Chain A
Amino acid sequence: MNLLALFENDIPIRGFMRLGLLAPLALSIAITYKTIHCQRLRDIPVASLTLCASILAGMMSIGVGLLLVFRLLA
């Protein structure tokens, strides 16, 4: 029953951990995409991690850029 309760109620996550939830999502997207497109299965782990890092770097860059624009306009 404890396992069911895990899915019935939300998990309280505070502060920076909320932003950290972006990483597993980016990883799942990268793994699925590279599993579809990689010719050899042994290439999937490295390719997935590389793509995941690229996604996270891109998202952070966009976030910083938008923050700078907000600060300039404010």
Chain B
Amino acid sequence: MTSWARLAGVCMSAKPQSQTMTVDSPARSAIAAMLAWVLPGLGHWYLGHKQRAIIFFVTTSVTFWAGVAIGGVRSTITPRDNGPWIAAQLCVGPQSLVALYWSENLAEQAIRDAGPGQKPTKYRASWPASNISVVYAGVAGLLNLLVIIDALARSNAPVGGEEARGPPGSGQERRGTHST
């Protein structure tokens, strides 16, 4: 390659400082991780990876609520019955808290409906749906945990250029790419 071509390549790849955002701050990472927990994909949206954000949101949310629909909220989100799975389910974020509140509310309603001195009938899914539904909701939470870790990893990379950069840790990250 001639020296002129090499120089042209260097000029083409050089970007004005204003077009790149190489903010490497713990605050940005913390915000991205927190947003990723609050709403699946929101952390990636904050970092500029909008298409990936939409995919993460749809996949995680549909998986979680599909699990709740399969087994019913009362047998899917129950800390007393499902043990450690609730820790995985809570990784989905406030959606799981809404489902937990709904489940507890239905249980209290069953106690009220039973009347004083009467033991309420404990809700059980009509088939082993609770096993499958708990796994669905738990896997959704664990997938969001992966999404949160990915948001943390990407928060130290330049904003934008998601089509051009490789996944974190691949050694294919390219800095100074254009913003999408």
A positions within 8 Å CB-CB of B: 6-14, 18, 21, 24-25, 28-29, 31-33, 35-41, 44
Contacts and interface: CB of A to CB of B under 8 A. Distances in A.
Tell me what chain B mostly uses at the interface: helix, strand, loop, or mixed.
Answer: helix
Contacts, number: 84
Interface residues on B, range: 35 or more
Given A10-B130, A28-B140, A39-B166, 7 more contacts: A10-B126, A18-B132, A28-B59, A28-B143, A29-B139, A35-B55, A41-B51
Nearest to B135: A25
Interface of B: 51-52, 55-56, 59-60, 62-63, 65-66, 68-75, 102, 106, 125-127, 129-130, 132-133, 135-136, 139-140, 143, 146-147, 150, 162-163, 165-167, 170, 172
B63 A28 contact: yes
Nearest to B66: A24
A13 B52 contact: no
Contact of B56 (A8, A18, A35): A35
A37 B167 contact: yes
Contact of B146 (A8, A25, A36): A36
A7 B68 contact: yes
A41 B62 CA distance: 20
